[in-house]
Amino acid sequence: MQHRPRKRFGQHFLHDKRVVQRIVDAVDPRPGETLVEIGPGLGALTGALLERAGRLHVVEVDRDLAARLEATAGGDGALTVHCADALRFDFCALADGGRTLRIVGNLPYNISTPLMFRLLDQQRCIRDMCFMLQKEVVDRLHAAPDTRAYGRLSVMVQWRCRVERLFTVASGAFSPPPKVDSAVVRLVPHTQPEADVGDPAVFARVVRAAFAHRRKTLRNNLRGLLDDAGLAGAGVDPGARAETLAVEDFARLSRRVSAAAPGA
């Protein structure tokens, strides 16, 4: 049965067997692990993961593809298909306690960032994640301070995870080929965050505001949150730009904002 890729789902199906093998080798799934694949599509990666792991959950939003996977599952329970939107899916419901989930996926470009934030909100039950993403997104995830790619996504993810860039994948590995190259990245949630940010909601607000206008200084971007004295008290130059700050710098700013809040 032919399946026409659907733009609304951002479907680009992986078909290069060498890339599939490299991803499976990077994940190195073992029998007994709880493995979850997001967006299995036509199942190019699914079969290889299932062969190594013995059991596999897949989350697929496209009903036709989910039904196709169900039809090939054989009914033996080795492959469990969840026809659901990954942005709303409760991944921790698949865990049997502790950080048990290993998550893999060729993520649609149009939802990759919100989906990663969704998963990080459930990181209590996640051991690691291995994703194929747009190369530009992987560059941002892995970027160091004071580089062009460093930004809000870099800070928010690196605060919560160790980021390991694995390899680049050319567009020809997909059908239809996307207009950009992709890359594979591994995210391993920290047992404890790398820095004490105080209130995570305040931290997210500070980071978002700091990067709101990249060419503006922190003095301007954080106006209303901290004045020059507050910035200096956190050990940060008011005239600096957000991309020059490390995660720990943002953590100090977050704690300072929380301490300055009425009633704190």
CA angle 101, 102, 107 (to 5 degrees): 120
| Whether pTM exceeds 0.85 | yes
> What totals of helices (H) and strands (E) does the chain contain, helices first?
10, 9
Q: State the pLDDT at residue 203.
A: 97
Q: State the pLDDT at residue 94.
A: 94
Q: Contact at 8 Å (CB) between 250 and 206?
A: yes
Q: State the pLDDT at residue 257.
A: 96
What is the distance in angstroms between the CA of the first residue and the CA of the last residue of the chain?
62
CA distance 139 to 31: 32
pLDDT tens over the chain, length 264 residues: 455 544 444 446 677 899 999 999 999 999 989 999 998 887 888 989 999 999 999 998 888 888 888 887 665 569 999 999 999 999 999 997 777 999 999 888 888 999 999 999 999 999 999 999 999 999 999 999 999 999 999 999 999 999 999 999 988 878 776 788 899 999 999 988 779 999 999 999 999 999 999 899 999 999 999 999 999 999 999 999 999 999 999 999 999 999 887 655
**Domains, in order of start, for the chain:** 7-189 (3.40.50.150), 200-259 (1.10.8.100)
How far is residue 243 from each of residues 30, 74, 213, 250, measured CA to CA in Å?
Answer: 39, 51, 11, 11
Q: State the pLDDT at residue 167.
A: 96
Q: State the pLDDT at residue 3.
A: 52
The DSSP bridge pattern shows strands 161-169 and 182-189 to be antiparallel
Q: State the pLDDT at residue 4.
A: 57
* Rg of the chain over all Cα atoms, to the nearest angstrom: 20
Q: State the pLDDT at residue 8.
A: 46
